[in-house]
């Protein structure tokens, strides 16, 4: 059923995908396996968007499917932490409306005991600055799928530095205090360095692991 589930997700067959997720969970299947399949299906959606096979409305529809299936998974997955592990300000940067990866990141961080402030997609630089100043998070997580997002990420981090909300970046070093994490399918270490981020991950569980390492709660 895993392969059929992935195909249903990739083809945006909402009712079929949700019903299959329910059946698998009711049969006692490990929710993390279903989550892995969810990520696999949504990765295909992202590839189709890159290939101009899917468009913005399709991504928005995919986000709705993620939200519903994530809700089912969360009911079956016990909270990993009783107390708040840390606070994360999360958002997809200016000029990028991709929310699939961001929504998965939100789900995994929330599941693991983080307080997550989700700013949404196409987030203006000043909105990130204001949210960091207001919420004083441990981590600022910037999501971006398009290569055009790299400049937006860089400009956002520079604005946070100028506002004194994160330390000035030094190549090869990880900041003391508040950290900046970036993520997205096309992110590499060269992009991380260009953006002035402290770390990058290409999937949500790895992002949680890195965040816990930074906060000393791994």
Map out the domains of the chain as residue ranges: 2-76, 87-215
State the pLDDT at residue 37.
Answer: 92
Q: Which two tokens stand for residue 3?
A: 């392969």
Q: Are 65 and 92 spatial neighbours (Cβ–Cβ below 8 Å)?
A: no
Sign of the CA dihedral 205, 208, 213, 216? Answer: negative
CATH architecture of 87-215: 3-Layer(aba) Sandwich (3.40)
Rounded CA gap, 97 and 116, in Å? 19
Taking CA atoms, 196 is separated from 52, 65, 159, 210, in Å, by 30, 33, 11, 17
Query: Is a pLDDT exceeding 90 seen at residue 202?
Result: no
pLDDT tens digits for range 137-174: 999 999 998 888 999 999 999 999 999 999 999 998 99
CATH architecture of 2-76: Orthogonal Bundle (1.10)
pLDDT band at residue 79 under the 50/70/90 scheme: low
pLDDT tens digits for range 40-50: 898 888 788 77
pLDDT band at residue 22 under the 50/70/90 scheme: very high
What is the pTM for the complete model shown? Answer: 0.76
For 115, phi and psi rounded to 5 degrees?
Answer: -90, 115
């Amino acid at each position: 059923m895993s392969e059929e589930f992935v195909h249903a997700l990739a083809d945006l067959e909402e009712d079929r995908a949700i019903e299959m997720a329910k059946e698998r969970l009711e049969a006692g299947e490990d929710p993390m396996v279903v989550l892995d399949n969810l990520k696999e299906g949504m990765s295909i959606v992202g590839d189709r968007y890159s290939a101009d096979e899917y468009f913005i409305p399709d991504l928005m529809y995919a986000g709705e499917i993620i939200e519903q299936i994530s809700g089912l998974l969360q009911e079956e997955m016990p909270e990993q932490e009783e107390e708040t592990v840390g606070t994360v300000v999360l958002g997809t940067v200016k000029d990028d409306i991709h929310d699939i990866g961001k929504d998965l990141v939100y789900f995994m961080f929330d599941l693991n005991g983080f307080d997550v402030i989700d700013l949404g997609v196409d987030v203006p630089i000043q909105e990130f600055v204001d949210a960091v100043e207001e919420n004083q998070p441990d981590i600022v997580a910037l999501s971006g799928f398009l290569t055009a997002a790299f400049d937006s990420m860089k400009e956002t981090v520079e604005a946070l530095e100028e506002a004194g909300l994160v330390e000035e970046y030094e190549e090869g070093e990880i900041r003391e205090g508040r950290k900046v994490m970036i993520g997205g399918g096309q992110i590499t270490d060269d992009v991380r360095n260009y953006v002035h981020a402290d770390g990058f991950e290409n999937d949500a569980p790895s992002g949680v692991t890195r965040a816990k390492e930074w906060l000393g709660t791994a």
